[in-house]
Amino acid sequence: MIDMNRQKIIRRLLVLRNLEFFNIFFLPICLYIAITSRGTQYWQPYAFSMFIICVVLAQGVFYWHLKLQTISNPGVTFPDYFYALFSFFKWANVVLLLIYPALIFARQITPLVNFHASIWSNLLFLFAVLEYTNYYYYQLSHDNLNDLRYLIKYKKIRRSPLFMDMQRNQK
């Protein structure tokens, strides 16, 4: 029974890792197609928001890969650098997220900055913020029955797996 559960978890982690990796390339291609087909003049806010999303997704791919190694190989734990690296990623993401509103503010006070954000680019930026929150704080995506059962039973959003693993590996 335990082996079947482990195999199920391994399959799930493989799917998560591989889908996140796929999306690092797929989402920018979709954005490029959408921007060029509409003839969007100010593409910079879109590109910057997509960059942040892809950076967070790349961190997710790395996390799911490390998690997969710990689950699939009994006795293997996260590497010693895990907590320090993901703590750095966490704060580097905050800096990246703060650049977007800073560029919008700079555009308001100086004509030298050409960062024309629109409602759609702001929504893409909001998605970047949600993706960051989903990985580093709370699990916002509920894509299986266990997630939904937890949400219904406890009436709250659970902490993200990365948050929990960082808590356990804090040194």
Average confidence (pLDDT) over 20-33: 97
The DSSP element (H or E) to which 102 belongs, if any, is helix 82-109
Amino acid 147: pLDDT: 67
Average confidence (pLDDT) over 66-74: 92
Residues with Cβ within 8 Å of residue 114, at least 6 apart in sequence: 42, 44, 107
Reported as a single tens digit per residue, the pLDDT across 85-110 is 999 999 999 999 999 999 988 888 88
Residue identified by tokens 């996260």 is: 78
* Integer Cα distance of 4 and 58 in angstroms: 29
Closest CA to 128 of 106, 100, 163: 100
123 close to 116: Cβ distance less than 8 angstroms: no
Domain tally, the chain: 1
Amino acid 2: pLDDT: 53
Reported as a single tens digit per residue, the pLDDT across 114-136 is 788 889 999 999 999 999 999 99
Q: pLDDT category, 1, cuts 50, 70, 90?
A: very low
* Integer Cα distance of 171 and 93 in angstroms: 21
Closest CA to 68 of 156, 139, 1, 165: 165
Instruction: Considering only residues 106 and 30, tell me which one the structure prediction assigns the higher pLDDT.
Output: 30
- For residue 139, the enclosing domain spans 2-169
Q: If DSSP codes are grouped into helix, strand and coil, which group holds residue 116?
A: coil
Amino acid 42: pLDDT: 87
Could you tell me the pTM of the whole model? 0.89
Amino acid 126: pLDDT: 97
